[in-house]
Amino acid sequence: MSEQTAGPERRYRLLRVSLDRFGCEPRALDDKQQKQAERIVARQLEIEEAVLRSPEAIGVVIPESQVRHAWKSIGERYEDEAALSMALEHQGLDVEGVSNLLARELKVEAVLERISTGAPEISDTDVSLYYFSHIEQFDRPETRRARHILLTINPEFPENTREASRTRIQAIAHRLGNKPERFAEQAMKHSECPTSLQGGTLGDVKRGTLYPQLEDCLFGLKEGEISPTVESPMGFHLMLCEAITPSGRMPLEEVLPRLRDWLQSRQRQARQRQWLETLLEKSAPLEELAHG
């Protein structure tokens, strides 16, 4: 089915799936992406129809303010209103039609939320049981809170030839000496990495996330120590180790609130999934009868 002959619900869904899954409009999808998007859309529409026909959907009303908020989130994907209007027009959609489809989509979400509210509350005992049954998940690797200064190598620019970059970073290292408190300032002034805007911060780094040269350097530093010049495929670096968090196991008290929220969310999703499966099983025979 082409975009032109598809109904507005399908065209709208295809636009949303294309943006959410592939980061582009439907016209930019290749054949493989198009087929994948259409399968997702078909399943979404099947679920949507079943949910809206269910007894649980009766009495669910979506406030206009909620639709406006959803509109805003869609508009933020485009440069301006003209670009949004052009995208809608290309899909054969208009503002009023999409507003109705958004309200429909939000109603489905509200019904599913209503279903999940009946899920039992997760107790501290449930959390503890999961924690001790999956204890290895709570092992924390050693991390280093780090900053760096980068000078790139690019022979096309006199100040970034190999020798020029090396000379410049050695001058920065000399200015820093043993003064880690000046590192962020020097990173903001001289680093050619986007992290310069945050004083060169790399955050809490674990092994396996940096170039091997940088990782070996960083994990060989003491807390508060600045590295000698180190070279990576990106160029020349200076590294600062601000803090060391040793490896260990996160205690139950530390993970309990987030773990409870995660388990509760998982239980709510399981309840929704079970309800949907039952709903779709009931609707399938009716559709077969209608098309028989």
pLDDT of residue 290: 44
Q: Does the model's pTM come out above 0.85?
A: no
**Residue 269 domain-assigned (yes or no):** no
| Ranges of the chain with pLDDT below 70 | 1-6, 283-292
| Polymer length of the chain | 292
Instruction: Kindly state whether residues 128 and 259 are assigned to the same domain.
Output: yes
pLDDT of residue 126: 95
Instruction: Kindly state whether residues 13 and 40 are assigned to the same domain.
Output: yes
Instruction: Kindly state whether residues 112 and 17 are assigned to the same domain.
Output: yes
pLDDT of residue 197: 93
Number of structural domains in the chain? 3
**Residue 1 domain-assigned (yes or no):** no
- The whole domain housing 131 covers 124-136+250-264
Burial (0-12, 13-18, 19+ Cβ within 10 Å), 149: buried
**Residue 238 domain-assigned (yes or no):** yes
Instruction: Kindly state whether residues 91 and 218 are assigned to the same domain.
Output: no
DSSP H helical ranges for the chain: 8-17, 31-53, 64-75, 81-90, 95-116, 124-133, 162-176, 183-190, 212-218, 252-290
